[in-house]
Amino acid sequence: MSRFYYYLIIINMVANIIASVPAILLHYHNDGAIISMLLSIAAGVLLVTLYTKFFLKYPGKTLPELLEKTTSKWFYLPFVFVLAVLWFVAGLITLITFTFLLIRYLSPEMPIILICLTLILSVIFGCILKTDRVMYTVEMIMIITSPLILFIFLKAYTSNSLNWDFVREAALYINQVPNWHSFSACFFLFLGAANLFIFNRFFTDKQKFGFRQIMFIVLISIGTLFTSYFIPIGFNGFEGINDLVYPWISTTDSIRMDYFIIERVLFMFLLFYLGIAFLSILIHWYAAVEFLKFTFKLEKIKYKDKVIGIFLPLPIFVAISLYFVTVLTEYQLFQYSSYFYDVLVFIFPGMILLFTYINRRMKNEESSPEN
């Protein structure tokens, strides 16, 4: 597979380390989190495989384009609009979580609107770029940030303060009934593949997706889940772990780099994760704008021969984000994102039915092009 495909998958996994996924998992640390993680790896990898195989059949085609060909208007217009909402909310969750983090840890005296606005401004212009440009931005920022983030993880794994006894203690909670919320939170990590709905436009070449590629995704997902769940436990203990509102922030604050420019790893971690969060919001919102473009035919809205339609969703995005960032509390954010993940568990496997339908219709179309 093209390396850009892996970027889509990896960013969705890695970006959520800092968002509410570990918090949800650790909240259920003695209530079936481990077994849910294992189950979600199986389910998630299956989903990624099915999604990828489907889109490989139609190189360069986005889901809205396929729907337009195979289904009728009353179905696909509302459907794509719902997709736009889902993608927007996914980006919004990352945005609000990160705004909360910044105001809590980096600049407590700055007005929250201003912080949120700075983040939005950097993302919002990315939403109207061309697809390939978005992918190149993704690659650039990945290359800049990932070595340092990997270094921080390595530092965490090799730290003397990481007590493996806690990790083993937590792992022994394996024989429990899986927990629904932890399952859906983990499952969300795998939904990076769903970005192909739009970004498949970029993958125009024929590509191979076999056993090796699947194993690679399995390895990445195990690594991400293991790191995001067990490292905080190793540093902060097992029993009091759900007291921490931002487990990963507290964990990076527990790592000390004696001989580095900044002793407190927390600030570096926040800064480099800002890059990853930026990418995650960019990808989600880019897809959301594309879905909206398709639903409302925004490219046809013109004013004095200039296309202004594609700019229309942006003020709405800004307004909704600013509204929620001021209204929501941390607990509500935690609760609502948990519900959001729960809903996605039903929607995305359901799409596979739609895919089989599209497959059949496309076959008919190919076999009888004249009709």
Partner 1 sequence: MKSLPRKIKGTILLFVVLGSVLLSGCAFKDIDKSVFVAMIALDVSDDEEKPYKVTLKLYEPTGSFNEATEPQYSYLSENGETLSEAIRMMESYSDKELEFGHSKLIILGEELVKDNKNKEILDFLLRRPDIQMISWIAVGRPNAEEIIKMIPQGESAAYPELFNYFDSNGTTTPYIVTTHLFEFRRNIKESGIDSVLPIIEINQEDQHFEVNKSLLLALNKEPLELDSLDTSIYNMLSRSVKHANLLIKEEGDHFIANIDTVKSKYNVNIKNKSEIQLDINISLYGSVAESHKPMKNKDLPKYNEELKKESEEKFKEFITKMKKNGYDPLGFGIDYKAKVLHNRRMSDEEWMEAYKKAKVNLTVKPGIKSTGSIQ
For the beta carbon of residue 58, count every other beta carbon within 10 angstroms: 17
Binding mask 306-325 for partner 1 (x = CB under 8 A): --------------------
**Considering only CA atoms, which of 265, 274, 267 is closest in space to residue 14?**
274
The rounded distance, in Å, linking the Cα atoms of 114 and 227 is 32
Long-range contacts of 208-217 (CB under 8 A, 24+ apart): 208/1, 209/1, 209/49, 209/52, 209/53, 209/56, 213/1, 214/45, 214/48, 214/49, 216/6, 217/9, 217/45, 217/48
User: Measured from the CB atom, is 118 or 326 closer to partner 1?
Assistant: 118
- The distance of closest approach from Cβ of residue 24 to partner 1 in the complex, given in angstroms and rounded to an integer, is 20
User: Measured from the CB atom, is 107 or 204 closer to partner 1?
Assistant: 107
CB 236 within 8 Å of CB 244: yes
CB 279 within 8 Å of CB 11: yes
Of the candidate spans 3-11, 84-92, 120-128, 342-350, the one that interacts with partner 1 by CB under 8 A turns out to be 120-128
DSSP state of 303: E
Distance of CA 303 to the CA centre of its chain: 35
Size of the site for partner 1 (CB under 8 A): 52
Q: Does residue 175 touch partner 1 according to CB under 8 A? A: yes
Binding mask 124-153 for partner 1 (x = CB under 8 A): -xx-xx---x---x----------------
The rounded distance, in Å, linking the Cα atoms of 91 and 14 is 14
- The distance of closest approach from Cβ of residue 109 to partner 1 in the complex, given in angstroms and rounded to an integer, is 5
User: Measured from the CB atom, is 1 or 314 closer to partner 1?
Assistant: 314
Binding mask 200-229 for partner 1 (x = CB under 8 A): ------------------------------
**Considering only CA atoms, which of 99, 120, 110, 88 is closest in space to residue 273?**
99
User: Measured from the CB atom, is 121 or 150 closer to partner 1?
Assistant: 121
Of the candidate spans 12-20, 67-75, 157-165, 342-350, the one that interacts with partner 1 by CB under 8 A turns out to be 157-165
- The distance of closest approach from Cβ of residue 195 to partner 1 in the complex, given in angstroms and rounded to an integer, is 19
For the segment 270-289, give every residue that binds partner 1 (CB under 8 A).
271, 274, 278
Token pair 């229309």 is at which residue? 312
- The distance of closest approach from Cβ of residue 106 to partner 1 in the complex, given in angstroms and rounded to an integer, is 6
The rounded distance, in Å, linking the Cα atoms of 12 and 215 is 18
Of the candidate spans 101-109, 178-186, 214-222, 358-366, the one that interacts with partner 1 by CB under 8 A turns out to be 101-109
CB 37 within 8 Å of CB 229: yes
Binding mask 53-92 for partner 1 (x = CB under 8 A): ----------------------------------------
3-state secondary structure of 70: helix
Token pair 């294992």 is at which residue? 38
The rounded distance, in Å, linking the Cα atoms of 160 and 355 is 49
The binder of partner 1 chosen from 71, 131, 146, 163 (CB under 8 A):
163
The rounded distance, in Å, linking the Cα atoms of 228 and 16 is 9
User: Measured from the CB atom, is 81 or 105 closer to partner 1?
Assistant: 105
- The distance of closest approach from Cβ of residue 176 to partner 1 in the complex, given in angstroms and rounded to an integer, is 8
User: Measured from the CB atom, is 29 or 201 closer to partner 1?
Assistant: 29
The rounded distance, in Å, linking the Cα atoms of 266 and 79 is 41
User: Measured from the CB atom, is 64 or 232 closer to partner 1?
Assistant: 232
For the segment 227-266, give every residue that binds partner 1 (CB under 8 A).
235-240, 243, 250, 253-256, 258, 263-264, 266
In this structure, what token pair is assigned to residue 103?
A: 């105001």
The rounded distance, in Å, linking the Cα atoms of 255 and 253 is 6
Q: Which residues bind partner 1 (CB under 8 A)?
A: 30, 102, 104-110, 118-119, 121-122, 125-126, 128-129, 133, 137, 160-161, 163-169, 172-175, 235-240, 243, 250, 253-256, 258, 263-264, 266-267, 271, 274, 278
